[in-house]
A and B are shown apart, each in its own frame.
Chain A
Amino acid sequence: MKQEEDFDANLAGEDGTEAESKTSWFKRIKKGITTSTADKKETPEGLWTKCPECNYICTVTELRELLFVCPKCNHHHRIGSEEYFDILFDKNYFDILFENIRSKDFLGFTDLKPYSLRLQDSWKKTDITDSIRIGSGKVNALPLVIACMDFEFIGGSLGSVMGERISRAVDHCLEHKTPLMIICKSGGARMMESAFSLMQLAKVSGKLSQLTDACIPYISLLTDPSFGGISASFGMLGDLNIAEPGALIGFAGPRIIKETIKKDLPAGFQRSEFLLEHGFLDFIVDRKEMKEKLTKVLTLFKN
């Protein structure tokens, strides 16, 4: 049985896979192989990668050339802002904006771990400064500001910094008359910022309203996963809402819905194709065709 992912765990800063399924018949008590990963004499780390959907194995270099799309089953691997900027911006040339805005633990929030420590750990673990990066560059010579989320930073959670960086990106777009695209990849609001994170929904929506008044296009690209506060605000407010194939997109997480209705969810529930079918997406775009399609869209808006 395929492991079900728990987005909530990502928001709690843990890795998001539940080790054991509730329906498993047998439970392994003793560990099978006791050699720790570090002691294994295997190929160098990070050289090979396995597709989580079809188990196809290929090298990371190969996968990178394929824009992190599985050649066998077209599964779109999760990638970060660095990869998206590389894929979309001409010659990978762009400015990174508003990196100086950083999260802080204003509330002194402590769950199993203090929020300040979580932030420290995330900064150490990754080379990104928060869950969103703003890049300003050109896509086939057309100027575009891309705000791209990074799932590896506390589950791409929506906190004050994401709100502020997007707000300033909007100001930047207003000033330079540049279209804006937000690439969503997030489990939802950052609970450690409590009501402040909730208010970012209103904050960003207000800023988007200024883009509307200035007749500047805003595109929302939803990737796997886009949940909670993201879909309840700017994720669904694009002049165009588009998505990558097979991305999980929704308001409530599948686990919560399953617990509420006490039934299994239908296959393909909350996938991009499901959303397209129900009328919430303009189209689904393959990563390989994204740049071309984006260019087409930007040209159409321009003329």
Chain B
Amino acid sequence: MASPPSALPSPGLGGARLEAIERWAWRIPLPTRRLLLLLAVAVGAALVLSGVVGAAVLSRNSDAVHRARTSGVGVAQSATEFRTQLAVADAQAAVTLLSGGLEEPADRAAYDKAVLDASTALTAAATLGRPEDTDDILQLSEQLVRFNGSVETSRANSRQGYPVGSAYLSQARELARTEMVPRADRLRREGERRVAQAANDISGPVSAVGVAAVAVATVLLLAAATIVAGRTRRLVHPAIAVAAVAILVALAVILTSVGDQTNELRSAATDELETFAAANDASSALSNLRVTEINAVAARGSGDALFAQFRVDADALRSRLLGQGSVSLVAQLDSYTSAVRAVEDADTAGDNQAAAALTLTGDSGNTFDDARRAAAGEVAGAQEALTSRVDAADDASRDPVLLIVFGVVAAALAAAGILARARRYR
């Protein structure tokens, strides 16, 4: 068993503490030289290993953020955009019903743009999605072609004065309502699920192991420094102190990276994505209101139930918007619903032609366009916030090489510092 030297130098500034450390250090039953050699090897290895493990965790988390951005947020955004544009296309196609297939060029252009945007959103989803999304995306793509085909057939028949045109339009709407919207919603929720999953992965056990590895190495280094101080009767060894600083920086890097990524992704999954989806839902609901209004007018005198449905849906949308704090959009919605009341009054009075004119070219159409623009603005704002949040998660990623560098530097310094003291003992 090792024993302390018979004559100790008188304690300096840290005398009392150093004495306590010395007593503790001398309890280890190994000769000082051998003990220091062992400590140099053990601490060096632990620091290098912690750097490698930490780097692996940082690399894995960076990949998780990337996946959350692409197959999570990307797919959810694309699916939501598809659904919104489909609703816009549906509302524009409904104009065909009232205009005999001869809608204004601007209405036709708006329909074409909505279909093109929906198609573009699907392409984006295909690019960003996972293999298991392929079936949904292919189905939506094929259904979009069928939807557009039915609308075009409706338009062509209506232009010839054939009543079958309205049946084709109903078919397109039924396809959108029963097949396309549920599938797009499902794809969106799948994307949201992946973002939440990524947040959980980053804050999960693997990250904890990485942080723990660096923390354990730090503890080992500090313990070794204490032993060295006790055996050598010198409280501070510069190389070991710098090594401690290096590994503490590494610990701070991995902790802040994991913490920030988790917080940002969790927020994206629970706040920004919900806000984005809510903004899109509002936009779709607005388009659906327009479809209900047009159908009510197209019912040629028997649209009472549809006008009643319009009021119920408009009230529900208004409440939802107030809950979301979308005050400006509520104002636009109120203008639109007031205009539709005038349409309903004309229709109820038996003047269906006047009601149709108000819907197509009067206040109703104009206020709807204003509301739709406002809704699109809210969607764009929500999308920007979501993108910023994911960018922040990405920014919180750290280069894994940093951890390796810190680990290796700390290991080299710690080993050098301990070995330098060991050389004094034979």
A and B are partners in one complex rather than unrelated chains:
no
The chain B residues found within 8 Å of chain A, CB to CB, are: none
The chain A residues found within 8 Å of chain B, CB to CB, are: none
